[in-house]
Chain A
Amino acid sequence: MAIISFNQVSKRYPGGFEALKVVTFSVEAGEMLFLTGHSGAGKTTLLKLIAAIERANGGTVLVNGQNVSAMRPAAIPYLRRNLGLVFQGQKLLLDRSVFENVMLPLVVTGQPYREAARRARAALDKVGLLSRERANPVTLSGGEQQRLCVARAVVNRPAILLADEPTGNLDAAYADEIMEMFHAFNQVGVTVLVATHDQQLIGKWRKRVLALYQGKLL
């Protein structure tokens, strides 16, 4: 069953720039795939449409059977709770500890503290940062910060993991580490969609690839 499906989706930004032009594809539940293309090809826009951060101008975006393009604003938070997002700009809160950063998605969704803390530590353990839980994110290396973002994205046990250039400025060893983690999540049933322009990475992992070129799917 398709967990994400785009049907003739177009996105034009105010000012006239057409980021996506009549895009149609679907992703099966439990699949892991890459989204690739040059910068400006529309990768980030596509991910934003899935998470309802942007709204399509035409066509329908279905996520988990829900029509995201026609969703009430009040329903959007509940959609996002099913998604794990690894953002391009990391968006770590630097006034809190590593542990508190991972706690945030659980606090936001109103989990009782004890259970939330247990899950946050489990997520930190999975990405190898449990020993750094009290540290400030600033003191982490680039690779560790990215792993922290992954922990934050998966702590809520989302059905879908969306990652935007997760290996962007990491060297090959760290990039592999991150991809191994995504693969491990995919093995336990999480649908993983990774946007990257890193062709080496794509070549190494041999997954389905959606290639965007100037807003069109090739």
Chain B
Amino acid sequence: MRGWFQHHGLSLIQTFARLVRSPFATALNVAAIGVALALPLGGYCVLSNLELVARRISMEPQLSVFLAEDAGKAEIAAVETQMKSARGVRSVRFISRDAALAEISRTAGMTEVIASLPRNPLPDAFVVTLSGSDPVLAERLGVEFKALPKVAHVQADSAWVRRLDALLRLGRTAVVLLSAMLGLALVAVTFNTIRLQILTQRDEIELCRLIGATRAYIRRPFFYLGALLGLFGGLAALAMVLSALAFINHDLVKLALLYDSSLRLQFPHLDEMLLVIASAMALGWLGAYLSVSKHLLEIR
């Protein structure tokens, strides 16, 4: 039993040593695997950041109803009453043009702009919160409110959020497809690497068979090789993606400062990173398994 453990340790060390002994080939292999993993991982990171932004924006369905500039007090009250009585409306909030202007001028950089205007360009407006998130309801009410006297424009605030959501879903599908294809590439890379390794160690494999090595003994180092390639490839992919994110954040922070905001890309979580490495090792092992099953049969 001790010998068995020693052999596991030994074949791991020997496999590692073999990788180190041909650093150039190893680096290229690791880079190929790293890039194959970095693409879907990077896509995933971008997506989850967009999702975070989308979630921060209220998903509550709202309509912004902008009034004509010449709307009088009585007309405004009439519109409000009509909208409040419409079915599917939860609440109606009035934002006067002065209040809107005051709010905007509090936003960074806008104070001077607002001050330079000869007069308030904003219309009076209502923010109508709907009771359900049914897009058909929002659309029907939008058309209905647009027809009211002195209503200039109606905007459905939730529409773009929904559009973004649909886009994100598309992006997620793309990332899954990309992962599947590049996962296949990873298996192919390890398959070939291990094939070459089996060919270079042909004499040793033949000899080991003749002196009583079991099948497991002969296959073991190649499994380690596949898993190690996956491990290094996974680490390389993480290094690429993390440094790319840090690089982008470096610029993003400067950009966000100009807008007085604290926008920055989130790094993947530790468990996500571990998952990437674990899957890379599993795929490397799979490539090794396929290669060993096919090519060791050819050596008797």
Which residues of the other chain, A, contact B24 by a CB distance below 8 angstroms? none
Which of the 9-residue segments B44-52, B68-76, B202-210, B279-287 touches chain A? B202-210
Which residues of the other chain, B, contact A77 by a CB distance below 8 angstroms? 209, 212-215, 217
A91 and B3 form a contact (CB under 8 A): no
Give the B interface residue count (CB, 8 A). Answer: 20
A81 partner, pick from B3, B4, B204, B212, beta carbons under 8 A: B212
Which residues of the other chain, B, contact A108 by a CB distance below 8 angstroms? 208, 211-213, 217
Which residues of the other chain, A, contact B4 by a CB distance below 8 angstroms? 110
A93 and B7 form a contact (CB under 8 A): no
Residue of A whose beta carbon sits closest to that of B7: A110
Say whether B2 faces chain A, with CB atoms less than 8 Å apart: yes
B10 and A107 form a contact (CB under 8 A): yes
Which residues of the other chain, A, contact B215 by a CB distance below 8 angstroms? 73-74, 77
A112 and B210 form a contact (CB under 8 A): no
Say whether B116 faces chain A, with CB atoms less than 8 Å apart: no
Say whether A111 faces chain B, with CB atoms less than 8 Å apart: yes
A104 partner, pick from B2, B211, B214, B300, beta carbons under 8 A: B211
Q: Shortest CB–CB separation between residue B160 and chain A, in angstroms?
A: 65
**Which residues, 64 to 90 on A, are CB-close (under 8 Å) to B?**
73-74, 77-81, 83, 85, 87
| Known A-B contacts A112-B2, A113-B6; A91 and B212 likewise in contact (beta carbons under 8 Å) | no
Query: Considering the chains assembled together, what is the distance between the CA atoms of A107 and B300 in angstroms?
Result: 20
Q: Shortest CB–CB separation between residue A68 and chain B, in angstroms?
A: 14
Query: Considering the chains assembled together, what is the distance between the CA atoms of A80 and B143 in angstroms?
Result: 88
Which residues of the other chain, B, contact A74 by a CB distance below 8 angstroms? 214-215
- What is the size category of the interface that chain A forms with chain B? 20 to 34
**Which residues, 33 to 63 on B, are CB-close (under 8 Å) to A?**
none
Which residues of the other chain, B, contact A83 by a CB distance below 8 angstroms? 212
Query: Considering the chains assembled together, what is the distance between the CA atoms of A156 and B2 in angstroms?
Result: 18
Q: From DSSP, what is the main secondary structure of chain B's interface residues?
A: helix
Which residues of the other chain, B, contact A109 by a CB distance below 8 angstroms? 3, 212
Residue of B whose beta carbon sits closest to that of A94: B203
| Known A-B contacts A107-B10, A111-B3; A51 and B207 likewise in contact (beta carbons under 8 Å) | no
Query: Considering the chains assembled together, what is the distance between the CA atoms of A111 and B6 in angstroms?
Result: 9
B3 and A112 form a contact (CB under 8 A): yes
Q: Shortest CB–CB separation between residue A98 and chain B, in angstroms?
A: 15
Query: Considering the chains assembled together, what is the distance between the CA atoms of A77 and B208 in angstroms?
Result: 9
**Which residues, 165 to 193 on A, are CB-close (under 8 Å) to B?**
none
A91 and B6 form a contact (CB under 8 A): no
Which residues of the other chain, A, contact B300 by a CB distance below 8 angstroms? 53
Say whether A42 faces chain B, with CB atoms less than 8 Å apart: no
Which residues of the other chain, B, contact A215 by a CB distance below 8 angstroms? none
Query: Considering the chains assembled together, what is the distance between the CA atoms of A116 and B10 in angstroms?
Result: 14
Say whether A105 faces chain B, with CB atoms less than 8 Å apart: yes
| Known A-B contacts A74-B215, A91-B203; A53 and B3 likewise in contact (beta carbons under 8 Å) | no
| Known A-B contacts A91-B203, A91-B206, A93-B204; A105 and B211 likewise in contact (beta carbons under 8 Å) | yes
Query: Considering the chains assembled together, what is the distance between the CA atoms of A74 and B216 in angstroms?
Result: 10
Known: A77-B209, A80-B210. 6 other contacts (CB 8 A): A81-B212, A85-B210, A93-B207, A108-B208, A109-B3, A110-B7
Residue pairs across A and B with Cβ atoms less than 8 A apart, 23 shown, are A53-B210, A53-B300, A78-B212, A79-B212, A80-B210, A80-B212, A81-B211, A85-B210, A91-B207, A91-B210, A93-B207, A104-B207, A104-B211, A107-B7, A108-B208, A108-B217, A111-B3, A112-B2, A113-B6, A116-B3, A152-B211, A156-B211, A156-B212
Report the 3 A-B pairs with minimum CB-CB distance, sorted nearest first: A110-B3, A81-B212, A80-B212
